[in-house]
Structure formats: C-alpha cells, structure tokens
Amino acid sequence: MPDPASRVFRAGFLRPGTVLLYAALLLAMIQAIGPVIWIITGSLKTRQQFYADPWALPRTWQFHNYVDAFVTARVGDYLGNSLIVVALGVLVLIVSAATTAYALARIQFRGRSAVLLLILATMMVPPDILTIPLFAILRSLGLLGTFFGLACVYAAGGYGMSVLLLRSYFLAVPRELEDAARLEGAGTIAILRHVVLPMALPGFLTVVIIQAMGMWNDLYLAFVFLRAADKATVPLGLLNFFQRSAIDWPTLLAALTTLTVPVLILFTLFQRRFVEGYMAGAVK
C-alpha cells in the first residue's frame, strides 16, 4: 500500500499545470542543449558524412578535425587574440567603473545625481549610431586596429551597467568599516582596494562574467575596428571558414566546439555566484 507522501507527490505531479511546467522546462532544456550536441557530433564527422546526413551520429570519430582547426584554420591565434582583448577590456572596465561607482556611492560633491543620470543615459543610446564617431576617435588617437583600442570600445559599452551594479554594492557596505580604515591612516584608494572591493566581490564577478562574455562573442565591433587579419578575434576569424565554393563544416564545428565548450564549463562552475550577484545587485 503506497504511503500518503507518495500519493500526495503523484497527485501534485499529475496536475495539468505541473505537467505543462515540466514540459516547458524539458523543451527549454532541449532547445539549449540540442545545438551544443549537434555541434559536437558534427565536429567528429567527415565532410561526406556531414553532407549525407547532418543530423546523424558520426560513424567514425574524426578527431583530426580539431587538429585541422588549430593548424590550418589558425584557431589558436584567434583564441589568443580574443583572450588579450577580453583581458584588456575587463581590466579597463573594472578600474574605471569601480572608481566611478565608489565616488557616486560615498563621496559628496555637487552634481553627483546629474553625473549618475548622465551615465545611465548612455545605456539608452543605440550602439550602432556611435560606430562612426568611435572610428574617428580611435583613428585620431592612433588606436585604430589595435587590441587596446577595441578593448576601450568594449569597456565604454559596458560602463553604464557596471557602474550602476557596483554602486548598489558599495552602498550596502557599512560605513563603519571605512571609517575604521580611515582612522588607521588608509586613503580613499586603499579603502576601496582593501575594504570595499572584497565585500563587493559577487558584484565584481557578475560584471566580469557578463562583460567578458559579451566581448568574447562580439563580431560587429571587431570587424569594424580591427584592420589586420593577424589580429582577428574568434568570431571574426571564424568568418574565414565561409568560402564561395564550399564550407568545411566539420572543421568549423570543431573550432566552435573548442571555443564554446570551455565558456559553457566556466559559466556552469560560476553560475551560482553569477545568479546570486546579479539578484543581490538588483535588490540592493
């Protein structure tokens, strides 16, 4: 005889609303995981197997596609270029956004609200209309076609959201801790570095993850501001797989697997911290 708890569980699970909810979750999971599985299986086929049936499982695993992606298609060079650009962009963004957010949260000065509103207004400007002005500015500064120039563009694009999120975290840090550090002789920068930043670590991780993923996946800005082929980032370099006559899909999918799966693993490892930081920043 089934116990009452199991009967209650089955009764709740068989409710129409619960069944629809689980069906929707299953559909969303298939929609999210299905393309990744298709990319991985396609990267292990020969070109003949892929064109014969793109949806079938590989009959023989062709691991040499990954070797071809790194040796012939220079995916390793694109990966290194993207890492340099993302690291520079995140560094510039964190330094500028953290100092601005701390000033808006703690320092009293005339026009502070106006500065905050101006920064928030930059988030409402469509980025496409800024392409020509940014191109002219980078060319006049001699930064056009450089990693640092593209990194500055990326940092400027995420500046408003990062300031807003970090400011909310800084406001939640108790002032007594800063006063105690100030009594010990610490300056503003020392307090920001040794007191405020460790307590706002979830917010920093949230900013880094969101902005780094956006910089990593960007194609449009890299296409406009990087002029040399040897400086192409990952999305820009993958365009070389598309030729007029044919597309080497298995090698392209091997490159996509190499560049996508590590990002998915990294996000999976830090997703709890990411969600907690994002929700905490919104509530604060």
* Cβ neighbours, 10 Å, residue 167: 25
pLDDT at 140: 95
pLDDT at 154 over 90: yes
pLDDT at 284 over 60: no
User: With bands split at pLDDT 50, 70 and 90, how would you rate the model's confidence at 245?
Assistant: low
Rounded to the nearest 5°, which phi and psi values hold at 174?
A: -60, 135
pLDDT in tens, 51-106: 888 888 888 888 888 888 888 778 888 889 999 999 999 999 999 999 899 889 88
pLDDT at 230: 86
Q: How far is CA 160 from the centre of its chain?
A: 16
pTM of the model: 0.79
User: With bands split at pLDDT 50, 70 and 90, how would you rate the model's confidence at 173?
Assistant: confident
Q: Among all chains, which residue has been given the structure tokens 């905490």? A: 280
More confident residue, 137 or 122: 137
Question: For 79, what's the count of Cα atoms within 13 Å in the CB-facing half-sphere?
Answer: 15
pLDDT at 193 over 50: yes
As a whole number, mean pLDDT of residues 205-210 equals 85
* Cβ neighbours, 10 Å, residue 120: 13
When the pLDDT of each residue in the chain is averaged and rounded to a whole number, the result is 83
pLDDT at 8: 47
Are 168 and 203 spatial neighbours (Cβ–Cβ below 8 Å)?
yes
Spatial distance between the Cα atoms of 74 and 76, rounded to a whole number of angstroms? 5
pLDDT at 3 over 60: no
Domains of the chain: 1-39 (no CATH), 75-283 (1.10.3720.10)
Are 107 and 206 spatial neighbours (Cβ–Cβ below 8 Å)?
no
pLDDT at 122 over 70: yes
SS3 assignment, position 233: coil
More confident residue, 277 or 261: 261
Q: Which of 121-125, 143-147, 252-256 has the highest mean pLDDT?
A: 143-147
- Sort 133 into a burial class: Cβ within 10 Å, 0-12 / 13-18 / 19+: exposed
Under DSSP, the state recorded for 58 is: P
As a whole number, mean pLDDT of residues 257-282 equals 68
As a whole number, mean pLDDT of residues 30-40 equals 86
